[in-house]
């Protein structure tokens, strides 16, 4: 690459992967400019305020905090001086309509005992499940998450060979629900572990059993809360990048990535070419090829892959404190299979949806007035394909309130004093994620990991890709990994 070595790089998109890529490229000596059409950085990882209430607008679960720490250390800074976080004692509060309630401990041994007492499943069986979760993660992550799947040299080592030979024992050839059903022995515990498929917008009845690795991150490694909220992840890294000399140009839409002679030459903004030696694309890969790279032949097979689910979120200021609610709360549907069938096959919303509520005021009292809570209320919904969203939102709001009021034993609607809504249309408009999908493509088949776009272009020199729609996938940890995978092969200047 020495003949075409980049000195200046444009990063298109200031999502978390774009920010992390900018930091890594700046640490290698590049002059880096980040462009975003929004007036803020962070992409989905931002916040909203409603009077005295503050909400994290998007991602609400924080795992693998060392990935953020690593970026500060890469810049020669002490992470704790700029970014602090607290481990959660309880990872999630689970509710079923039959009255079952489980404040799941973040300690795996304690959780196993809780499951035994509540579900009658031997604690040894639950501990065995979490140990296998650890084994699957530690076997697969180095092969499928920590390196490119699109460079042949990455398959020519013992670590990768070990991972490939272990595939029959990793759940690659079965689905997550079937594996969980065999492993847990109780339908409620099965449902609890099935929900981890939603962490990348997938269906547990279709997604491969290898997703059993995800609970390892919460139970064995830990779930955390950043001081200042999830928004502080993107903001602390933005400030780090600025201290390093990265230039952020917000309210600046990139209309096209300029490619000449099979090489990325810069970006086109309002008809003006801005020349750079390389371009890192943090835009949704579907949008990138359809709008930013119209001159290139698009990888149609990849772009045609089924998209992940989207979300319908209500931000409610609630005039009451519910002591049995924690930071993360799940109210399960009575028919999980039907909920996912409607979501991915019918492109509809169940009348009995599983409801997730994130309440940061439990950890950070200033996020709501005294005696109140800030409820981030989310259900999984299909992507935007032209549905009547006004009708769907009104119906879903009614269904959610009915469910929450029944389980919590109190009418919720009269307690709502402020409200705003985020739906697939607004997610698509703000983040340019095709159909408003949260994680790019879904993982509803065993080959999905291999059908994500590479972190570089096979045809265009000095054009790289990062973010949730490319390898290795969506969610904060994988987006940060994508930035590392994309930038590691790029030589320092």
How many angstroms separate the CA atoms of 74 and 28, rounded? 10
How many angstroms separate the CA atoms of 88 and 104, rounded? 11
How many angstroms separate the CA atoms of 225 and 3, rounded? 45
Average pLDDT over residues 460-486: 96
Residue where the block lists tokens 């949730």: 468
Average pLDDT over residues 463-472: 96
> pLDDT digit string (tens) for 342-380?
999 999 999 999 999 999 999 999 999 999 999 999 999
> pLDDT digit string (tens) for 174-215?
899 999 999 999 999 999 999 999 999 999 999 999 899 999
> pLDDT digit string (tens) for 394-410?
999 999 999 999 999 99
Q: How many CB atoms lie within 10 A of CB 214?
A: 22
Q: Which of 219, 222, 221, 200 is nearest to 211 (CA)?
A: 200
* Helix spans in 39-141 (H): 66-74, 108-119, 123-140
- Consecutive H or E run containing 376: strand 373-381
pLDDT surpasses 80 at 119? yes
Please give the pLDDT value at position 449: 63
b/e map 224-242, b = 16+ CB within 10 Å: bbbebbbbbbbbbbbebbe
> pLDDT digit string (tens) for 30-76?
999 999 999 999 999 999 999 999 999 999 999 999 999 999 999 99
Task: Say whether domain 1-45+61-76+224-306+443-493 belongs to CATH 3.90.230.10.
Answer: no
Peptide bond into 144 cis (omega under 30): no
Please give the pLDDT value at position 164: 58
How many angstroms separate the CA atoms of 477 and 131, rounded? 21
- Lowest-pLDDT range, 2-11, 14-23, 215-224, 377-386? 2-11
b/e map 82-114, b = 16+ CB within 10 Å: bbebeebebbbbbbbeeeeebbbbbbbeebbeb
How many angstroms separate the CA atoms of 309 and 472, rounded? 17
Beta bridge partners of 317: 374, 418
Measuring CA to CA, how many Å separate 417 from each of 319, 410, 414, 490?
A: 7, 16, 8, 51
Return the domain boundaries, the chain: 1-45+61-76+224-306+443-493, 110-222, 310-382+385-422
How many angstroms separate the CA atoms of 472 and 210, rounded? 14
Measuring CA to CA, how many Å separate 445 from each of 211, 425, 455?
A: 11, 26, 21
b/e map 380-400, b = 16+ CB within 10 Å: bbbbbeebebeebbeebbebb
Average pLDDT, the chain: 94
Please give the pLDDT value at position 285: 97
Please give the pLDDT value at position 148: 84
Give the CA count within 13 Å in the CB-facing half-sphere of 405: 12
User: What percent of the chain clears pLDDT 70, i.e. is strictly above it?
Assistant: 94
Please give the pLDDT value at position 170: 65
Q: Which of 324, 393, 433 is nearest to 92 (CA)?
A: 324
Please give the pLDDT value at position 1: 37
How many angstroms separate the CA atoms of 486 and 147, rounded? 9
* Helix spans in 100-174 (H): 108-119, 123-140, 158-165
How many angstroms separate the CA atoms of 102 and 237, rounded? 35
Q: Which of 384, 474, 386, 392 is nearest to 435 (CA)?
A: 384
Please give the pLDDT value at position 171: 63
Average pLDDT over residues 446-468: 89
């Amino acid at each position: 690459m020495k003949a075409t070595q980049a000195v200046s790089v444009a990063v298109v998109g200031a999502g978390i992967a774009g920010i992390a890529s900018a930091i890594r490229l700046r640490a290698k000596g590049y002059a880096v400019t980040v462009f975003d059409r929004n007036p803020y950085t962070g992409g989905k990882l931002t916040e909203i305020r409603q009077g005295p209430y503050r909400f994290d607008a998007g991602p609400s679960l924080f795992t693998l905090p060392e990935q953020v720490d690593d970026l500060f250390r890469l810049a020669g800074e002490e992470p704790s001086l700029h970014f602090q976080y607290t481990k959660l004692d309880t990872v999630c509060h689970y509710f079923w309509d039959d009255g079952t309630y489980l404040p799941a401990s973040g300690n795996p041994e304690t959780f196993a005992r809780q499951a035994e007492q509540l579900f009658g499943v031997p604690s040894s069986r639950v501990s065995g499940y979490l140990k296998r979760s650890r084994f699957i993660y530690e076997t697969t992550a180095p092969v499928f998450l920590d390196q490119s799947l699109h460079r042949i040299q990455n398959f020519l080592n013992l670590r990768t060979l070990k991972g490939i030979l272990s595939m029959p024992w990793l759940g690659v050839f079965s689905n997550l629900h079937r594996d969980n059903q065999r492993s847990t022995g109780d339908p409620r515990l099965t449902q609890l572990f099935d929900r981890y498929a939603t962490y990348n917008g997938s269906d547990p009845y279709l997604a491969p059993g290898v997703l059993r690795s995800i609970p390892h991150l919460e139970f064995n490694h830990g779930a955390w809360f950043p001081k200042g909220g999830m928004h502080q992840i993107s903001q602390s890294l933005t400030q780090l990048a600025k201290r390093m000399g990265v230039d952020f140009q917000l309210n600046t839409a990139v209309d096209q990535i300029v490619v000449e002679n099979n090489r990325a030459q810069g970006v086109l903004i309002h008809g003006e070419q801005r020349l750079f030696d390389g371009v890192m694309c943090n835009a949704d890969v579907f949008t990138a090829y359809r709008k930013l790279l119209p001159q290139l032949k698009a990888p149609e097979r990849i772009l045609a892959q089924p998209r992940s689910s989207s979300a319908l979120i209500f931000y409610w200021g609630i005039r009451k404190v519910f002591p049995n609610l924690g930071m993360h709360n799940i109210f399960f549907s009575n028919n999980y299979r039907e909920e996912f069938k409607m979501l991915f096959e019918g492109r509809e919303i169940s009348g009995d949806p599983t409801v997730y509520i994130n309440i940061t005021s439990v950890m950070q009292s200033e996020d709501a007035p005294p005696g109140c809570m800030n409820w981030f209320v989310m259900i999984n919904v299909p992507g935007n394909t032209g549905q009547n969203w006004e009708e769907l939102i009104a119906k879903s709001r009614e269904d959610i309130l009915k469910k929450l009021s029944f389980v919590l034993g109190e009418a919720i609607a009269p307690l709502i004093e402020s409200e705003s809504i985020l739906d697939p249309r607004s997610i698509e408009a703000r983040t340019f994620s095709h159909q408003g999908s949260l994680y790019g493509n879904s993982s509803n088949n065993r080959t999905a990991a291999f059908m994500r776009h590479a972190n570089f272009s096979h045809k265009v020199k000095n054009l790289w890709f990062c973010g949730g729609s490319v390898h290795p996938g969506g969610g904060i940890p994988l987006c940060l990994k994508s930035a590392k995978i994309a930038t590691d092969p790029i030589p320092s200047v």
